[in-house]
Amino acid sequence: MIFHRACKTILPVVLAISCLGFYIGESGYSVPGLSPYYIAAEKLENRVFPQNPKAPKIVKFQSRERAKDQVAKILSNYKTGLAPEFRKQLPELIINESNKYGYDPFFLTALIITESSFNNWAQSRRGALGLMQIRPQTGIALARETQRQWKGKPTLYDPGVNIALGAYYLDKLIKRFGDLRLALEAYNHGPTKLSGYLKKGHKPTEYSKRVIDQYEMIRPQPI
């Protein structure tokens, strides 16, 4: 009798949680094991953040030098507009900033390709500058937060500073929105505008899909 009453009490709760997991799966906060989307998102984030202690080492390199060589090989397909001595530094800069935040370096590489095609002097119609296309107003705030000296717009044409600020900014957006895809959309649209979209029930996906598709195309297979 007690078991029968317990089942009648617990079963509706279990069913409600299951339904909730299914319907909120795209937010990244669903209950593990209940939402097919959650499983897919988890696998993606395990690849993007291979240094997360909870994530399997999906991409394993024989050495740091091998990673640099592979990033440099990808970079050889693009015109950076940089002198050779500065161009050679880009793989090291990407790997250093990726290590700082636990990114797969090929994910950060994919983001730079999507933003600027590695053109260090790129400028968007909205005034975003450099490799990771950062607006000066955003750059001022990020430089202050990371305790970097701001010397006006030319600061964003320094590839080391630009990559450092862009990697930091993405990490900040991931923490704010709690979802990799939403963080990418916020990087593109701006966090305030994205929040407005979400309040209206609209969830942009085009930009994040472009970055993730690029990442899946360039990342090496596990060895």
**Six token digits for residue 52:** 């997360």
Give the pLDDT score at 90.
98
Report the alpha-carbon distance of residue 215 to residue 220 in Å, rounded: 10
How is the chain split into domains, by residue range? 1-34, 39-218
What is the pTM (predicted TM-score) of this model?
0.75
pLDDT of residue 221: 72
* Secondary structure of the chain in HEC code, one letter for each residue: CHHHHHHHHHHHHHHHHHHHHHHCHHHCCCCCCCCHHHHHHHHHHHHHCCCCCCCCCCCCCCCHHHHHHHHHHHHCCCCCCCCHHHHCCHHHHHHHHHHHHCCCHHHHHHHHHHHHCCCCCCECCCCCECCCCECHHHHHHHHHHCCCCCCCHHHHHCHHHHHHHHHHHHHHHHHHHCCHHHHHHHHHHCHHHHHHHHHCCCCCCHHHHHHHHHHHHHCCCCC
Specify the fold of 39-218: Lysozyme (1.10.530)
Half-sphere exposure of 23 (CA within 13 A, CB side): 6
What pLDDT score does 42 carry?
Answer: 54
For residue 63, the model assigns a pLDDT of 75
**Are 121 and 83 contacting, i.e. CB atoms less than 8 angstroms apart?**
no
Round to whole Å and give the CA distance between 17 and 22.
Answer: 9
The pLDDT score that the predictor gives to residue 43 is 62
Per-residue pLDDT 10s for the chain (223 aa) are 544 444 444 444 344 434 433 322 333 322 222 222 223 445 666 667 655 443 333 344 447 888 899 999 999 999 999 999 999 999 999 999 999 998 889 999 999 999 999 999 999 999 999 999 999 999 999 999 999 999 999 999 999 999 999 999 999 999 999 999 999 999 999 999 999 999 999 999 999 999 999 999 998 876 5
Q: How far is CA 57 from CA 52, 86, 102, 168, 214, in A?
A: 9, 31, 12, 22, 20
